[in-house]
Amino acid sequence: MRQRSFIVVAVVLAALILGAVAVYAYDKTQNDVIANGVTAGGVDIGGMHSGKARTTLQRELVGALNRPVVVTSAGHRFKLSPTKAAVHVDVDSMIKQALSASHRGDIFTRAARAITGGSVHAHIPIAVTYSHPAVTRLVRRVQKRVNRAPVDATIGFSGGGVQKIDSRTGRAVETQSLTSEIGAELVQPTADHRVRAPVQITKPKVTTHELAQRYPRVITIDRSAFHLTLYVNLKPAKTYLIAVGMQGLETPAGRYNIEDKETNPSWHVPNSSWAGKLAGQTIPPGPQDPIKARWMGIANGAGIHGTAETGSLGTAGSHGCIRMAIPDVIELFDRVQVGDPVFIA
C-alpha cells in the first residue's frame, strides 16, 4: 500500500515538474513577444515580435513625423523641415518599454495570460525629441517678418493747414504660445503640421481720436502769405498778419515748439554784421528795444514778438523773427503755452 502511495506521489511530482518546465519553456518563447493590449505612441503593437513592432512603429510614427511644420501669419509662410528640426523617434526605447510592460507578473501569470488571450492594457508614450534651438530660430524668423510696431497719431503742416496723421495698430507674435504649438506639432504623428502663429494686436500710445487732446494749441506760420494761424483743438481759431525774415535772414522753416515766454522782454542783440555797433549788446525795454510787449522763443534765437513797425507787416522785413502787431502778440501770448508746436512753412 505504501509503495502504491509513493508511486502516486512520484507521478504527481513528476507531472508538476514537467508542467513547470513546460511553463518556463513557453515563457521563454514569449520573451520577444509584446503582450496583447500594448500600444506605443497610439499604435497597437500587441501580439507582435519586437522586430515586427519596430517596423510598424517606423512606418506609422517615423513616417508620419517626417514632414515639415508650416507656420503662417499675415500673408507670410515659414517652414521648418524635420531635418533642421532634428526630429528623432526613439523606437528602440519604446520597444523596450513595451516588452517590459508585457512581462509584468510572475511566470505563471504571464503563461496563463498568453494561453487564455488576456491583455496587459499598457500605453507606451511616443519617445520623440527635436531641436529646441531650431524652433527658437523659426520663431525669431516669424517675429522678424510679422512683428510691426504701432505708430502714434501725430500732426503735420501741409496745404496751408494742420493735417492729422492717423495712428496705426501694431502686431506682435506671441512667442511662447507659438513655440509650444510648433513643439506639439513636431511630436504628434496625427497632427497636420500646420500652425497659424498667434498674434497680439498692439495699440499706439496716441490714437487719431486723441490728437486734439494731445495738441490743444498749434501755431502755423505761412511765410509766403505772411499769416500766423492759431489752431485750438486742431481747428483754426484766428489768423494774424505778420512779417517774416528778409532775404538772407529768412525765418527758418520746420517744426518747432515754443521754448520760452517773456513779457516786455529785453533785446539780446545777435553777434551778426547786420546789428552793427549794437551786436552782442542787451537793449532793455524801451524806445530802443524793437521787441515790443511780448516774446515767444521758438528756435536758434528766432521768436515771435510785437513790433512798433506795423508797416513791415505783410512783408519779409524782419531779421529772422516773426513780427506781430502789439495787440495781436499780447492776445496770442495769453492763449499759448511753452511746449506748444509751431510749424513754419
Distance between CA atoms of residues 321 and 291, nearest Å: 10
Length of the chain in residues, anyone?
A: 345
Packing angle of the helix pair 50-57, 91-102 (nearest 10 deg): 140
Q: What is the CA radius of gyration of the chain?
A: 44
**Backbone φ and ψ of 138, nearest 5°:** -65, -45
The residue ranges of DSSP E strands in 83-209, in sequence order, are 88-89, 123-124, 128-129, 154-158, 161-165, 170-173, 194-196, 199-202
Structural domains of the chain ordered from first start: 215-344 (2.40.440.10)
Going residue by residue through the chain (345 aa), what tens digit of pLDDT does each one get? 656 666 655 555 555 455 444 444 444 555 789 999 999 999 999 989 999 999 999 999 998 999 999 999 999 999 999 999 999 999 999 999 999 988 875 665 656 566 666 677 899 999 999 999 999 999 999 999 999 999 999 999 988 899 999 999 999 999 999 999 999 999 999 999 999 999 999 999 999 999 999 999 999 999 999 999 999 999 999 999 999 999 998 999 999 999 999 999 988 777 776 766 777 777 788 888 889 999 999 988 899 999 999 999 999 999 899 999 999 999 999 999 999 999 999
Alpha-carbon distance values, 21 to 29, 109, 268, 284 (Å): 12, 15, 118, 124
**Residue that is written with C-alpha cell 511616443 in the block:** 126
State the number of CA atoms in the 13 A half-sphere of 281 facing the CB: 11
For position 187, what pLDDT does the model report? 95
C-alpha cell at 300: 536758434
For position 124, what pLDDT does the model report? 94
**Residue that is written with C-alpha cell 503563461 in the block:** 111
pTM of the model: 0.68
For position 30, what pLDDT does the model report? 55
Distance between CA atoms of residues 166 and 153, nearest Å: 5
**178 and 197 Cβ atoms separated by less than 8 Å:** yes
Residue 344, strand partner residues: 221, 254
For position 288, what pLDDT does the model report? 83
For position 110, what pLDDT does the model report? 59
Alpha-carbon distance values, 277 to 127, 250, 269 (Å): 92, 22, 10
328: which residues sit within 8 A by CB, 6+ positions away?
240, 241, 306
